[in-house]
Structure 1
């Protein structure tokens, strides 16, 4: 071993450390792993992960999974050959639990989408998929920054719908459907308040979410 190391003068004693090879400085960053995922796993530009700044990363991740149909819905699980008792939506018991159903077609999510439209004073339209929802969002005539906040509200809706579905399946206590919208309004208020460069009060948020840009 000694003879093998002879002549190795460049070895400097130092502590072992991890190096993140996706960044030149060797330091991990969320942006680098997002670029890696977008560039290698999802080369389709339409599936790139575009984060909405007004909501937490965990909410953006759910929205990205809705967009890419990557959530383990009952329908997706059955397609992978796994034997499950039922593929019916556990929330409404009236359709196959696919991504499109649970986030756009389920009677519960549509009720909440109508409430959001009323809250934001915008025209409601039934949509059946992420693509149709995106077309609807683009058609709304409001400022681009405000539209980003509204997009974040819908991301929050999907996050709460998925959490409600999981609690319904796995928790002993049955969750309340009526709380989904209330929790969404409350959480989106705090998310926007601490992430948007604006100062607004709770009462203003309830009456007029457009106050975010004031």
Structure 2
């Protein structure tokens, strides 16, 4: 089960970094958004025959990460422009 160990590494990447707890939380949220977007793209390809481009998946990760961060954290004053620039970190 090689995929399980890599998956676990990806889920725990934020824990080993030397940054503040809030940045770790943001990184964790982005990783979860990426996993979700990759999963849905894979399901669309496997079950509906709809291929996704990398650019679309990346945009989905950015927008979903922004929405999750903005509406599930105390930093809900962040703008889309700040999110795209990562100027809040």
TM-score if structure 1 supplies the norm length? 0.36
- 1:99 Cα deviation from its structure 2 partner: 7.2
Q: Kindly report structure 1 stretches of 4+ aligned residues shifted beyond 6 Å.
A: none
For structure 1, the 5+ residue unaligned runs are 1-97, 102-127
Tell me which structure has the larger Cα radius of gyration. Answer: 1
- Where does residue 78 of structure 2 map in the other structure? 200
> How many aligned positions are there?
87
Counterpart Cα distance in 2 of 1:141 and 1:164 = 32
Give CA deviations for 1:85-114 in whole Å, capped at 9, x if unaligned. xxxxxxxxxxxxx7728xxxxxxxxxxxxx
**What value does the CA root-mean-square deviation take over the aligned residues?**
2.3
Work out whether 1:142 is the aligned partner of 2:19. yes
Give CA deviations for 1:175-201 in whole Å, capped at 9, x if unaligned. 223211111101111111111112111
- Where does residue 165 of structure 1 map in the other structure? 42
Give CA deviations for 1:71-92 in whole Å, capped at 9, x if unaligned. xxxxxxxxxxxxxxxxxxxxxx
- Alignment of structure 1 residues 111-126 onto 2, 5 Å: none
- Alignment of structure 1 residues 21-36 onto 2, 5 Å: none
TM-score if structure 2 supplies the norm length? 0.80
Equivalent residue for 2:60, pick from 171, 183, 203: 183
